[in-house]
Amino acid sequence: MSKAKENTKTAAPKAKAKPKAKATEAEVKVPGPLEELEQKHERKNVLMQGNEAVAYGALDAGCNFFAGYPITPSTEIAEILARELPKRGGVFIQMEDEIASICAITGASLAGAKALTATSGPGFSLMQEGIGFAKITETPCVVVNVQRAGPSTGMPTSPSQADIMQARWGSHGDSPAIVLYPDSVKESYELTIRAINLSEKYRTCVVLLLDEVIGHMRESVLLPDLRNTRVISRIKPNVPPHWYKHYDKDQKYLSPLASYGEGYRFHVTGLTHDALGFPTNKPAEGAEMMARLRNKITYNIRDLVQIESHQMEDATIAIFAAGITARSAKAAVAMARSEGIKLGLLRPLTIWPFPDEAVRKMLQDVEAVIVPELNQGQFIREIKRLTRDKSEGTVVGLTKVNGQMLTPNEILSKVKEVM
């Protein structure tokens, strides 16, 4: 991949871009690293790592600003962007720590950049306050967390799915979350583009959770047709500056966003603020701001939630799993089917907001749900939350926290135990 002839003139938005005249959602076809192959219709398979796929996905989504700090197992993302962003006129900066990294990308985004950072567990913990700032100020940015095992330093090169709840609740003060979770190298590419698109559309910090094994696994990938890649950029205001409200309530909470240096001279604060962005202590205005943060997610659930339903049509037992564990689960489904067991898999690509509707339907349709995950039981809490009349035994967890993956056999054994 890295040696492929790449187009160095990718249309990364220019730093001094003028505000657009109309408040429209931009859809741009951005040529990507495989543009030449694409033009010849030679959609060859390329061998790449999940971390590489994230970096190229970011570039193809128009990311033009990266600030980060080295940490295993995410470092390749920074290394690739350090090499590729300057070729496209973008900014790469290695900051002094992860706190500075999240702050720098938020600042750059307020100046108009499509900004991204990548980290792993310890760095993700350090970024939590900054993630909350991006959310309350409704500033688009993307944080990629390539998860590693254990609390604290843990096992830096081993897989884990233990940041599922941290990605939802890690930042103090009850803010909503959009979190995506790929299960393959190809999907890492696609969901990175989607993460940037959603951050721009919903004006929030979107988190992409990767499993360490996906970040470091090399797979043969047939990348999607880049000419049809949909790239979303933030809506720019089309009103004169004195009419501009940084947090305008209209348009399904998807309000326009001006950038610094474009004449709008707005105020941004991490304090609870009014529609103009000025701090407020008035209970009504505080409640309105919190409602706005919540509603822009809940009013748009159908746009945000993505799930894969695999062999669920006639399933009597279902697995609910994400990321690399879903890959093992898929193999377990095939093994079970060959033995005549009607096993299916429900896999969330968006884990937050949680796919309540799909899970409720699954709980109605099957006799038992197995929830394998590389933590001590995080997804299962959400599944049990959605259980109504069923007995406790119908939702069964399978956890592993020794730094290894769950194998298809382990999952299949659990299925047979429950049957």
Partner 1 sequence: MANIPQKVVHDYLRHDKKFPHVWCAGCSNGIVLGSIIRGVASLEIDRDDVVMVSGIGCSSRMPVYVDFNTLHTLHGRAIAFATGIKMYKPHLKVIVVTGDGDCTAIGGNHLIHAARRNLDLTVILINNNIYGMTGGQASPTTPHEAIATTAPYGNIEPDFDICKLAIGAGATHVARTTAFHTQEVQRMVVDSLTHPGFSLIEVVSACPVIYGRLNKKGGPSQMMKEMRDNSIPLSAVDKLPPEKVEGKIVRGTLIKEVKPEYSELYADLLERVSAMGDEE
Where along the sequence are the contacts to partner 1 (CB under 8 A)?
8, 15-16, 64-65, 67, 86-87, 89, 91, 93, 95-97, 99-100, 103-113, 115, 129-130, 133, 260-271, 276, 278-279
Taking a C-beta distance cutoff of 8 angstroms, is the pair 25, 232 a contact? yes
Beta carbon nearer to partner 1, 278 or 299: 278
Beta carbon nearer to partner 1, 124 or 264: 264
- State in angstroms the smallest separation of the CB of 106 from partner 1: 6
What are the contacts of 292-295 at 24+ separation with CB within 8 A? 292/247, 292/249, 292/253, 293/135, 293/136, 293/138, 293/175, 293/176, 294/176, 295/253
If we measure between CA atoms, which residue out of 110, 85, 351, 103 comes closest to residue 207? 351
**CA–CA separation, 289 and 1 (whole Å):** 45
- State in angstroms the smallest separation of the CB of 102 from partner 1: 8
- State in angstroms the smallest separation of the CB of 13 from partner 1: 10
If we measure between CA atoms, which residue out of 119, 124, 91, 89 comes closest to residue 7? 89
Structure tokens at 371: 């929830």
- State in angstroms the smallest separation of the CB of 292 from partner 1: 19
Beta carbon nearer to partner 1, 115 or 406: 115
Taking a C-beta distance cutoff of 8 angstroms, is the pair 330, 413 a contact? no
Phi/psi for 155 (5° steps) reads: -115, 95
Beta carbon nearer to partner 1, 95 or 334: 95
- State in angstroms the smallest separation of the CB of 288 from partner 1: 18
Beta carbon nearer to partner 1, 277 or 372: 277
- State in angstroms the smallest separation of the CB of 203 from partner 1: 16
The string of DSSP codes covering 91-133 is EEEE-SSHHHHHHHHHHHHHTT--EEEEE-HHHHHHHHHHHHH
- State in angstroms the smallest separation of the CB of 364 from partner 1: 45
Beta carbon nearer to partner 1, 115 or 193: 115
Would you call 28 helix, strand, or coil by DSSP? Answer: strand
What are the contacts of 260-263 at 24+ separation with CB within 8 A? 260/110, 260/111, 260/112, 261/16, 261/111, 261/112, 262/18, 262/19, 262/112, 263/19
- State in angstroms the smallest separation of the CB of 130 from partner 1: 7
Beta carbon nearer to partner 1, 89 or 156: 89
Beta carbon nearer to partner 1, 116 or 412: 116
Beta carbon nearer to partner 1, 84 or 183: 84
Taking a C-beta distance cutoff of 8 angstroms, is the pair 153, 122 a contact? yes
Phi/psi for 175 (5° steps) reads: -110, 150
Q: State the Rg of the chain over Cα.
A: 22
- State in angstroms the smallest separation of the CB of 56 from partner 1: 17
